[in-house]
Structure 1
Amino acid sequence: MLQENKHWSSGKWQVTAGRADEFIERWRDFLAWTGKENQGFLGARLIRDLKDPNSFVSFAAWQDLDSMRAWQGSPGFKERFDAAYALCEDMQSSGYELVVEI
């Protein structure tokens, strides 16, 4: 997927109708900040559901679990996350680790 990594953070975002473009910009700003301010961040992707243009899934790749956790607890995380989240009807997030690679 994104470089050589074994840890990901991910979110499923259900954006309020009519707010998708604004959401994309806020998500981009959030992850641009992430890349500048957080060691261990390897890259991110935001993908859109072809059947529901207000539904998105995000993936961020991390060098290690400690880097991902430090990002979530860092100054500025909540403010930037909340800016994107404010445009959503629902959002679910989690962290993942590689179990099998083929």
Structure 2
Amino acid sequence: MTVYTLGIWLVKPGREHDFVRAWEDLARRTKEAFPGGHALLMRDRDVPNRFISTGPWESVEQIEQWRGSSLFSEGLAGIRDTLEHFEPHTLEQVAVQE
């Protein structure tokens, strides 16, 4: 079973560039600590301060390990001042059409 993290980020207007830089730093450090995955950050074209991040993980346990790590808490602390709201989710794949 493939599992994914999904983040819905509502960024304070005018802080979008700062958010993207901080998110990229967290994603880079995460990839160094948890090799093999990748992360994707997308911006809502209709709501330019809303971003969606996602990426696959080996297991729910790996996601829990990451979210419980100082890497995650410190990375999120570096992002928080740019945010109005953040929703983290864990998803499992149920179907794919290629």
Q: What residue in structure 2 maps to residue 22 of structure 1?
A: 18
Cα separation, 2, equivalents of 1:80 and 1:61: 19
How far the C-alpha of 1:101 sits from its partner, in A, is 2.4
**Structure 2 counterparts to residues 1-102 of structure 1, below 5 A:** 6-39=2-35, 42-102=37-97
How far the C-alpha of 1:43 sits from its partner, in A, is 0.6
Question: Residue 90 of structure 2 aligns to which amino acid in structure 1?
Answer: G
Deviations 1:69-102 (A, max 9, x none): 1111122210101211221111111101112223
Cα separation, 1, equivalents of 2:19 and 2:62: 25
State the structure with bigger RCO (CA 8 A, min sep 6), 1 or 2. 2
Cα separation, 2, equivalents of 1:84 and 1:50: 21
How many matched pairs? 97
Deviations 1:37-70 (A, max 9, x none): 125x511000000012111000021012111111
User: Post-superposition, which runs of at least 4 consecutive aligned residues in structure 1 deviate over 6 A?
Assistant: none
- Percent identity between matched residues is 27
